[in-house]
A and B are shown apart, each in its own frame.
Chain A
Amino acid sequence: MAYRLKPRRAFFLFTALWMSLALLLAACGSAPAQPEAGPPPTTAPAAPPPTTAPAEPAAAAPEASTKSRLVFSGNQEPASIDVVTMSGNVNERQVAGQIFETLVYIDQSQTVYPGLALSWERSEDATVWTFELAQGVQWHDGAPFTAQSVVDYFTYVRDNGTVGTGPGQLKSVIGAVEALDDATVQLTLTAPRPDLLVELADPGMGIGNIANLEALGPDAGFNPVGTGPFKFREWIRGSEIVLERNPDWTWGSSMFQLDGPSLIEELIFRFTPEAQTRLATLEAGEVDFVDMLPFQDVARVRESGQFAVSGFLLPGMPQMNYMHTGLAPTDDLNVRKAIIYATDKQGIIDSVYFGMVEPAYGPLSRVFPEYEPALEEMYSYDPEQAMQLLDEAGWAMGADGVRTKDGQRLEVTIVENKSWNDWVYVLQANLQAVGFDAQVLTTQGPSNTEAIVSGSYQVPAMGDVFATASQMTRDWHSEGFGTFPSGHFLASAELDGMLKAAETELDPDTRKQMYSDIQIYIMDNALMVPIFELYFYAAHSNNLKGFIVDGTGFYKYFASAYFE
């Protein structure tokens, strides 16, 4: 006798099962609509920052709604939060920018605002800088913030063996640091630094609390104590970082246009590595602000009208591939030029980035005043030209579609940093089409760093975000070989000299010409394959207003944010 389910019970059981399945399949059917390709919004070219503080703008606190809890969603949880020992993790800077304050601030219009320093003066040769500090400032633990706090910070950066990527840029040029009185600090540099204010505005250059660092050691990164608009409250590892309003914060930068503390009472940072999940948290109403919107979703989200979508062009070195000049076959100039001609960057932009970015032409983003537009005419997508150059270089096409020379195959390895360099597969196809045996090596995080600095691969993908042209030095000067993010390995005294001279040039016109020469030199020597200007898209609730984007276009400050 077989055991049978009662018909009604069986029917219910399987109906429930199949309904669940049907619902899942229905969910598959509601896949995102294909976005319409359209040009990204443009950003006005940056103006050179003024060297004196602007007049205080009139404070105008907006009317806020009762909602005062803001949830921000980023892609990667930081390892710790300490401005002194800060890693390259962008989310670490994002959080630190709310807890710590910088001496000056720069917004997207490239205007310099007072921060902890109310005013500043520099010597003619840009080596001696004097800062007048805000009065009445307190650390979150109640201790007073004085000129000595700033002296302690710069002294620590100068003397300590290991510092983070923010202060690390200045470490080698910090000379004497002196408190002239309780509210005045004089910083003497060992070399001219005309762009010092831009560097000081980096959220990674927030003035760190050395007393806290010395008391807690490495644990200071889990108990950050700053002077900023938000205090650290809680860090639930793998889940969220919770900050709360600093009620004593009345000395905020005029950039925020606030009379008193932040309008947001609770600021929560969540980290969701999976891009689709990150977007879903916004659509489900769990978060108010999503960073790094996937390119394929930008048009759909924008057209839905449910959320505000902003695109920020990141200044620095555009997304590109270095070409290693010390390794065959990219040690041959004709081969390097052939790679540039063979690269269909518009194809990459259309197929991989849905038309949401713009083509790049050289080593400097077009938002800089030093950008050289003549580069746009230097190379075009021309596979025929690429093949002709390879023929001239002696690389003959083989029967298998791969060129050879003296028994050697035309092999190159493209290094990909996973989830950042999706274009490399199109580049691989482009190179294969003209006779390369191109392979892609996928790396991630530190393994990517290692692959690039090791100098073992011909065409590593790269991009760099910085706020001043003088930071080109770290990408192109030979002293950077073997350290991140350098990767072309052309030891050229000419290029090194040009970079160092431009870095300390004070006259804007001369400086512009110098950087123009540097860009032309780099592209004449085909040291890189420019791909596209990097845009980051963010989406947020339509009623979220008042947040400020910094000069790099990447970091957001939420002190003045509010819900309409």
Chain B
Amino acid sequence: MDQTCQVARHLTGLPKIMTNYLLQRLALTLPILLGIVIVTFFIVQLIPGDAVSAMQGQVKMSAQQMEQMRETLGLNDPLHVQLGKYLVRLAQGDLGRSLFGSQPVALLIGANIGATIQLTVAAMIVAIAIGLPLGVVAAVQHGRAWDVAATAVAMIGVSIPSFWLGLMMIQLFAVTLGWLPITGDRGIRGLIMPAVALGVAEAAIITRMTRSTLIEVLGTDYVRTARAKGLIERAVVWKHALRNALLPLLTMIGMQFGTLFGGAVIIENVFSRQGLGTLATQAVINRDFPVVQGCVMIAAILYVLVNLVVDVLYAVVDPRIRYG
């Protein structure tokens, strides 16, 4: 009877606890995002000049017209007033309009974010697909030639700049062999080279992390017990040891999403891909402040969400972890 109640409580209570936890975490992201918005706002203000002076090389304006435009854009208001107005608009879901071309920032971000998420996720898949097996091989072959080779490959991978790797891949796979497209293909084929160029460095990091954590786990008592029970080595490594080694890896993978997002800026430029990176870079060059602020905020939201997903995955990987 007691056992039945416990099972029932477990089955119905866990989702509720998890839901509460998720709601709490989501609520906590609000002050984080507010902080990011305020910090971004002031960082942008630190850049010398303003948007109107930045537009001077683009359109012909007299001093009077420039002053009029400053007034229209509210740039003559004190900083705290500008920030207040921005926050009010933000609360209403209005990210503002681009100063160049006047498109709504939300529309610009909406048109670009999909491509960047696609590239980032693809790069992460590449990184995991290469890094995890290589790390496992290095760990189980600890101290042997395979370990040295895998570690060397990881070292090389982490040392190669992604833009250089991208250019080399273009020369080999697009120009010389003609296997893959460089620009203009928005399908899977067009994603292969950018994803590999972006993911290789992350693969190297995952290799090293997997290797070190797995070596540590393989030396623990329960692994020795599993072997003593007569389990085959493959089951010991992949089923018992690796699952426990995954926790720190998950944390790191979550954090690496931020790095990949940053790297996407460079790779999108090299491969001339649409994306948030290209949009943000152009906005910074143009001093298109509303777009810069919008991009930074969206990147921050994505980063917070990815880390939230990682936290939830902890419970999946390690049943001992409960939230509430």
Judged by a CB distance under 8 angstroms, whether B296 is at the interface is no
Cβ of B48 and Cβ of A445 under 8 Å apart?
A: no
The stretch of A47-55, A148-156, A271-279, A492-500 that contacts the partner chain: A271-279
Set of chain B residues within 8 Å of A450, measured between Cβ atoms: 48-49, 53-54, 56
Residue A71 at the B interface, CB < 8 A?
yes
Is A130 part of the binding interface, using a Cβ–Cβ cutoff of 8 Å? no
Binary flags per residue of B95-110, CB closer than 8 Å to A gives 1, else 0: 0011011110000100
Question: Would you give the 0/1 interface string for A155-187, flagging 1 where the beta carbon is closer than 8 Å to chain B?
Answer: 000000111110011010000000000000000
**Of B6-14, B30-38, B171-179, B247-255, which binds chain A?**
B171-179
**Chain A 1-28 near chain B by CB (<8 Å), digits 1 or 0:** 1111100001001100100010110111
> Known: A77-B282, A171-B60. Contact between A10 and B146, CB under 8 A?
yes
CB distance from A343 to the nearest CB of B (A): 26
**Chain A residues within an 8 Å CB radius of B278:** 238
B59 at the interface (CB under 8 A from A): yes
Residues of B within 8 A of A169 (CB): 60
Nearest chain A CB to B18's CB is how many angstroms away? 36
* CA distance in complex: A5, B275 (Å): 41
Does A239 reach chain B (CB closer than 8 Å)? yes
Q: Assess whether A277 is in contact with B234, with CB atoms less than 8 Å apart.
A: no
Q: Are A162 and B183 within 8 A (Cβ)?
A: no
Q: Which residue of A lies closest to B64 (CB)?
A: A161
Which of A79, A221, A237 is B286 in contact with, Cβ under 8 Å?
Answer: A79
Pick the contact of A5: B108, B141, B183 (CB < 8 A). B141
CA A276 – CA B181 in complex, angstroms?
A: 15
B58 within 8 A of A: yes
Residue in A closest to B227 when the chains form the complex, CB atoms: A1
Answer whether residue B115 sits at the interface, using C-beta atoms and an 8 A cutoff.
yes
Chain A residue numbers with a CB within 8 Å of B87 are none
In the complex, B122 has a CB within 8 A of chain A: no
Could you tell me if A162 and B65 are in contact, using CB atoms closer than 8 angstroms? yes
Instruction: Find out whether the CB atom of B174 lies under 8 angstroms from the CB atom of A85.
Output: no
Whether B49 pairs with A24 at a CB distance below 8 angstroms is no
- Given the known inter-chain contacts A14-B146, A270-B184, please indicate yes or no for A168 contacting B60, CB distance below 8 A: yes
A27 touching B102 by the CB < 8 A rule?
A: no
Please tell me if B313 contacts chain A, counting CB pairs below 8 Å.
no
Find chain B residues with CB under 8 A from A161 CB: 61, 65, 68
Chain A interface residue number, banded: 35 or more
Could you tell me the distance in whole angstroms from the C-beta of A534 to the nearest C-beta in chain B? 18
Is B169 part of the binding interface, using a Cβ–Cβ cutoff of 8 Å? yes
Render A61-88 as a binary contact track against B, CB cut-off 8 A, 1 for contact: 0000000000101000101100001011
Chain A residues in 8 Å Cβ range of B79: none
Cα-based distance from A351 to B181 in the complex (angstroms): 33
B residues near A77, Cβ cutoff 8 Å: 282
A21 to B200, CA, bound (A): 11
* Complexed CA–CA distance, A531 and B101 (Å): 35
With A5-B146, A446-B285 in contact, is A164–B112 under 8 Å at CB? no
Chain A residues in 8 Å Cβ range of B153:
17, 21
B100 and A284: CB pair below 8 A?
no
> Does A286 contact B60, Cβ atoms closer than 8 Å?
no
Structural contact, B56 and A483, CB atoms closer than 8 A: yes
Interface assignment of A58: CB less than 8 Å from any CB of chain B: no
Binary contact readout B246-279 vs A (1 if CB under 8 angstroms, 0 otherwise): 0000000000000000000000111111110011
Q: Which residue of B lies closest to A278 (CB)?
A: B272
Judge if A217 is at the interface, Cβ distance under 8 Å.
yes
Q: Contact at A24–B169, with CB atoms within 8 Å? A: yes
- Please tell me if the beta carbons of A449 and B141 are within 8 angstroms of each other in the complex: no
Contact across chains for B175 and A280 when beta carbons are under 8 A apart: yes
Asked, given contacts A161-B65, A168-B60, whether A222 binds B272 with beta carbons under 8 Å apart, the answer is: no
- B residues 25-61 with Cβ under 8 Å of A? 47-49, 53-61
Interface residue B94 (Cβ < 8 Å from any Cβ of A): no
Chain B residue at minimal CB-CB distance from A274: B270
Which residues from A are CB-within-8-Å of B234? 3
Option from B54, B103, B163 in Cβ contact (under 8 Å) with A447: B54
CB 8 Å contact bits of A249-280 with B (1 = contact, 0 = none): 00000000000000000001011111011101
Give the residues in chain B near A272, CB-CB below 8 Å: 183, 272
A280-295 residues at the B interface, CB under 8 angstroms: 280-281, 283-287
Verify if A218 is at the interface (C-beta below 8 Å from B): yes
Q: CB-CB contacts of B160-204 with A at 8 A, as 1s and 0s?
A: 000101011111101110100111101000000000000000000
In the complex, are the beta carbons of B54 and A165 less than 8 A apart?
no
Are A27 and B172 touching (Cβ within 8 A)?
A: yes
Interface: B137 (CB within 8 A): yes
Q: Mark B125-157, 1 if CB is under 8 A from A, else 0.
A: 000000001100100110000100100010010
CA distance A26 to B169 in the complex (A): 11
Separation of A507 and B61 alpha carbons in the complex (Å): 32
Nearest chain-B residue to A238 (Cβ)?
A: B274
Q: Does A453 contact B (CB under 8 A)?
A: yes
Question: With contacts A165-B58, A286-B184 known, is A13 near B137, CB below 8 A?
Answer: yes
Question: Chain B residues with Cβ under 8 A from A446's Cβ?
Answer: 49, 53-58, 285-287
Bound-complex Cα distance A270 to B100 (A): 19
The interface residues of chain A lying within 8 Å CB-to-CB of B58 are 87-89, 164-165, 446
- Chain B contacts of A286 at CB under 8 A? 174, 181-184
Chain A residues with Cβ under 8 A from B163's Cβ?
274
Do B184 and A238 have beta carbons less than 8 Å apart? no
Smallest beta-carbon distance B179→chain A, Å: 10
Least Cβ distance of A130 to chain B in Å?
A: 26
Residues of A within 8 A of B273 (CB): 238-239
B69 located at the interface, meaning its Cβ lies under 8 Å from any Cβ of chain A in the complex: yes
Interface residues in B223-238 by Cβ distance below 8 A to A read: 227, 233-234, 236-237
Q: Which one, A4, A24, A448, contacts B172 given CB within 8 A?
A: A24
Cα distance A77–B112 in the bound complex, in angstroms: 14
Query: How far does the alpha carbon of A161 sit from the alpha carbon of B64 in the complex, in Å?
Result: 10
B184 touches A449 (CB 8 A): no
* Chain A interface residues toward B at CB < 8 A: 1-5, 10, 13-14, 17, 21, 23-24, 26-28, 30, 71, 73, 77, 79-80, 85, 87-89, 161-165, 168-169, 171, 217-219, 221-222, 236-240, 268, 270-274, 276-278, 280-281, 283-287, 444-450, 453, 482-485
Given A218-B102, A237-B112, A445-B285, 18 more contacts at CB 8 Å?
A2-B140, A4-B141, A27-B171, A79-B101, A79-B286, A88-B58, A162-B59, A162-B61, A169-B60, A218-B103, A219-B103, A238-B278, A239-B186, A271-B272, A272-B272, A273-B272, A277-B270, A280-B170
Q: Report 19 cross-chain contacts, Cβ distance below 8 Å, ordered by A residue.
A: A3-B234, A24-B168, A73-B183, A77-B282, A80-B100, A88-B57, A88-B58, A169-B60, A219-B102, A239-B184, A239-B273, A277-B183, A277-B270, A284-B175, A285-B178, A286-B184, A447-B49, A447-B285, A449-B56
A-B interface, 6 closest residue pairs, ranked by CB to CB distance from nearest: A238-B274, A168-B60, A218-B102, A446-B54, A449-B57, A3-B233
